[in-house]
Structure 1
Amino acid sequence: MIKKSQLKSKTLHGLLWSFIELLSRQGIQLIIQIILARLLAPEHFGVIGMVTIFIAVSTAFVQSGLDQALIREKAPGDKDYSTVFYFNLAVSILVYAISFYFAPLIAQFYDESKLVGILRVIMLVVVINAVSSIQRVFLIRKVDFKTQTKISLISGLSAGAFAISFALMGLGVWSLVIQQIVMKFTEMILLLYNNRWAPSFIFDFYLFKKYFNFGYKLLLSSIIDIIYKNIYFVIIGKVYTLNQLGYYTNASKIRDVASLAVTQSIQKVTYPVLSKMNDDQSLLTKNYRLLIRLTAYVYFPFMLGLVCIAPSFIPLLLGEKWVPAINYFQLLCIASLLYPINAINLNILKVKNRSDLFLLIEIIKKIFLSILIIVAVILELGVSGLIYSAIISSIFNLFINAHYTGKEINYNISKQIKDMTPSLLLAIVMSSLIFLNFEYLKTPLFVKIMLEITFGIITYISLSLIFKIEELRLIFTLMRKSSKND
């Protein structure tokens, strides 16, 4: 039985290190992205944006949901790990061979001949990921994100150094390709060195069937989700200009520093820990609710704050040539406001072994999003119109996810909205005050951003103290306990 202090110790300790990984790895990636954005042209990022969906879908095929099945297994042995490893590796080689063969057709679709060579090289990351997938599972099962943080730091710095060097040499888009290869290869080497695990010459078809029966629904759900998360790159790359795709690609990457990275941190920490609470319904619901409240309290002001400072933030960091990306970035931040909440909801379905429900929900959500995307394209609403469809879809997703999750743990959508509303209102008030006080301030961009950030933090904490928001006290308490545990 999991003790009632489980969330406050293991989960929050894991979250703390996962967020440190976020701030360090993504912070380094942001700095590298800024340097590359100043060295390269928007169309270079546009070309990479064209192949993003192929990397993402291929990676999902390789993992095939079996990794998630291993994480939730109570006591997997070497036979379990070896079986999943060989399957992942075989699928990765097959996926790479398919992408290699069809690269000319993909290049023809986009009418971009240079994609042939780029796709054939960058898709090697799929095989590289497969080699180290089990080592990463070990770390996730142990909730050891301190080690992952170190690995991410080293690999990010190494890849960034190579990318910047190649950009300075004038190799253009290839500097971005090399960045991906070096990062994943370095991660693989460090993961293999850290865990020192090697597969046995065993492949158990019974175990494979067991894991696949759980994992294939997650695989289908993951593929559907990834396709739709990246479908904008395909549509923009096909319908609009390469420059517009470049603006969208970089706006999306910078948004991801805050949004998807936080979501992934929450998912990978909470899933293995909540899985161990599955036998205690009241404890699971209590901890789940606390996660929702804390996530909303930290995440909402962060994303809305980024919306406010974007007009100064983007040109200061990336340069004036990236000003058209400001509107895309602001809308993407709003679209991702509910990402972590939706991620936590979906984790409960995996914890409850409802991969069938997981798949059904994804199909419903994507049908709705498809309708929105088709409307945006037919009405010629442009790139901004496509992002508006993502905003509407995100709200719809919350209601669908929370509806089904609520049935599993007695925490329905009305209760979730009630728990999130105070943080959302405080974040809206804070961002509104930032806009009213600094929108027309004529100062150097760096000074303006520092004033906006300082004002926003002070305002949010002050409002929290005035209205006695419990989450503020909880955060400080948990941080103190976590630091003592270290």
Structure 2
Amino acid sequence: MNEAEIAHKVLSGLKWKAFIRVLGQVISWAISIVVIRYIKPEEYGLKSMADIFMAVVMIFSSGGLQSAIIQTKELTEEKLKKIFGILIIINLILFVFIFLGAYPIAKYYNEPKIISLIQVMSVGFLLVPLNIMPSALFSRDMEYKEVSSISFTTNVIGGVCTLIMAVMGYGVWSLIAGPLLSSALSVIILNIYKPCLKKPDFSMHGMFDVVSFGGTVLLTSFLWIVFSKADVFIAGGVLSAKDVGVYAVALHLASLPIDKIMPVLNQVAFPAYAKLQDNPLQIAKYFLKSIRLTSLILFPVSFGLVGISHYLIPALLGDKWNDVIPLFFVLGLVFPLRGISTLCAPMTNAIGKPKVQLQLVVLGVLLMVPSFIFAINYGALGLALTWAIVYPVIVLINLVNSIRRINLKIFHVVKAVFAPIFVSSVMLVGLLMFYMTNVIIVNHWVTIGVMILSGAVFYILGMLLLSKKTLYEMAGLFSSR
């Protein structure tokens, strides 16, 4: 593809994925909120404990080979068969490992109930090879419409399954059954549209470059999980299941804007950067654009949710989750930086520099894990404050180390994010001042609606004053053809 074709694919992909993502997440958020009302805090805590180990082991399931398929310039049929063979071996080993590992995990937490949860969840590893191959090829070919539609369909079906089971009283099992059903349906539909069930080749000959790249991405992902999940792991051994559940919900809510917005951009960005990997000037241009547009959305959404959290969380989740509010307040302010930091990985990986992100996560482990161990003495709030105090330092180091690969300076990044951060901060102060007046307009829901509308109007007016071009850039992104 030439640059114009890539730009067209990226724009088309962003529009389609954004539309599908918004539609899907409106449904997903609605389902999640209802499900949480039917799940006890201690049950959510059990699922969060199990998720830590599953998330760590699941990182190894891809072997980093999904990224390697997308980034490799010359991808032959022979390489695909060998990658498929490697994936099968990896995931059979992981399935046995986690199935048997459920017993020592339960012993660590002193929670026998977690054994059956983890063993059922381990079935997902058997589906991974059949999912990764077609997904990677869809991304490599930049066929976003198809893969987004499949993801939307399977996630909604899985979410409905979770909701039905939660309402019927299946508790924590509803949180496990839905994702498993979604994964199974995804495998079936992906392989119908992009058949990849070829005879696997278990030879490693000629695979050094692919395995080396994938291994670096894999190690990076593993270390990222170690430092990003260490807080819940440490909390699980010290705090009660209820307190772990409260902290996990605060993390989940604070991460929602990042988890739902960033994949849209990063899934499109990595293949596009890979196509442009020999043109650093164009990569730099699009990287800064991604920062501007991400900041334009991420900071007002996150800060806005923090500003209305004292009304929103009790109204949505019920009074039993009120302890989430102070934790969410702290996490919601710092997690937008996490979204900005994640923009670096697709860029550095695509230009063949995966070690940049590896260096980042090594630093993250060295700084965050000891900080969490110290902070647990102050309970869940101590863990949240660790994110607020230590993590911004890691983000700054990552940005400086990443952008120098494409000849950018930190000044360019600061300029791109200044207006959204400043206007969002002023908006947040206004929302908090309104909250402190203790004024209720008709009822809590009307009050929340007025606050959201007022915050949105203020933010748009502020951005028109400070950074009109960024608003026009966003409008042009979705209005152009």
TM-score (norm 1): 0.93
The residue number in structure 1 matching 2:267 is 268
Q: Which amino acid aligns with 1:414?
A: F
After TM superposition, give the deviation of residue 261 of structure 1 in Å: 2.7
Q: Unaligned stretches of 5+ in structure 2?
A: none
Moved more, 270-279 or 325-334: 325-334
Aligned with 2:400 (options 403, 426, 429) = 403
After TM superposition, give the deviation of residue 272 of structure 1 in Å: 0.8
Q: Which amino acid aligns with 2:143?
A: D
In structure 2, C-alpha distance between the alignment counterparts of 1:123 and 1:101, rounded to whole Å: 10
The residue number in structure 2 matching 1:420 is 417
SS in 2 for 1:151: helix
Aligned with 1:435 (options 424, 432, 444) = 432
The residue number in structure 1 matching 2:3 is 3
Identity level (%): 24
After TM superposition, give the deviation of residue 436 of structure 1 in Å: 2.3
Moved more, 265-274 or 352-361: 352-361
Alignment of 1:170-189 (within 5 A): 170-189=169-188
Moved more, 247-256 or 319-328: 247-256
Alignment of 1:168-317 (within 5 A): 168-317=167-316
Q: Unaligned stretches of 5+ in structure 1?
A: none
Alignment of 1:25-44 (within 5 A): 25-44=24-43
In structure 1, C-alpha distance between the alignment counterparts of 2:257 and 2:193, rounded to whole Å: 28
User: What does the per-residue CA deviation read over 1:180-226, in whole Å, with 9 as the maximum and x for residues that have no partner?
Assistant: 21121122222122212322343452343221111111111110001
In structure 1, C-alpha distance between the alignment counterparts of 2:328 and 2:231, rounded to whole Å: 14
Aligned-residue RMSD, C-alpha: 1.9
Contact 1:267/1:347, CA 8 A, preserved across alignment: yes
The residue number in structure 2 matching 1:390 is 387
Q: Which amino acid aligns with 1:3?
A: E
SS in 2 for 1:337: helix
In structure 1, C-alpha distance between the alignment counterparts of 2:254 and 2:467, rounded to whole Å: 30
After TM superposition, give the deviation of residue 309 of structure 1 in Å: 1.4
SS in 1 for 2:3: coil
Contact 1:25/1:152, CA 8 A, preserved across alignment: no
Moved more, 105-114 or 356-365: 356-365
Aligned length: 479
Q: Which amino acid aligns with 1:206?
A: H
Contact 1:79/1:204, CA 8 A, preserved across alignment: no
Contact 1:430/1:459, CA 8 A, preserved across alignment: yes
The residue number in structure 2 matching 1:108 is 107
Moved more, 56-65 or 260-269: 260-269
Query: CA 1:346/1:261 → structure 2, altered by over 3 Å: closer, same or farther?
Result: same
Contact 1:88/1:130, CA 8 A, preserved across alignment: yes
User: What does the per-residue CA deviation read over 1:125-184, in whole Å, with 9 as the maximum and x for residues that have no partner?
Assistant: 222233211111122123333223322332222222322332233222112121221121
The residue number in structure 2 matching 1:167 is 166
Contact 2:64/2:213, CA 8 A, preserved across alignment: yes
In structure 2, C-alpha distance between the alignment counterparts of 1:251 and 1:28, rounded to whole Å: 20
The residue number in structure 2 matching 1:365 is 364
After TM superposition, give the deviation of residue 438 of structure 1 in Å: 4.5
The residue number in structure 1 matching 2:378 is 381
In structure 2, C-alpha distance between the alignment counterparts of 1:358 and 1:153, rounded to whole Å: 29
After TM superposition, give the deviation of residue 50 of structure 1 in Å: 0.5
After TM superposition, give the deviation of residue 252 of structure 1 in Å: 2.4
Contact 1:438/1:452, CA 8 A, preserved across alignment: no
Query: CA 1:200/1:241 → structure 2, altered by over 3 Å: closer, same or farther?
Result: same
After TM superposition, give the deviation of residue 354 of structure 1 in Å: 1.5
SS in 2 for 1:371: helix
After TM superposition, give the deviation of residue 239 of structure 1 in Å: 0.7
Alignment of 1:470-485 (within 5 A): 470-481=469-480, 484=481
Query: CA 1:313/1:194 → structure 2, altered by over 3 Å: closer, same or farther?
Result: farther
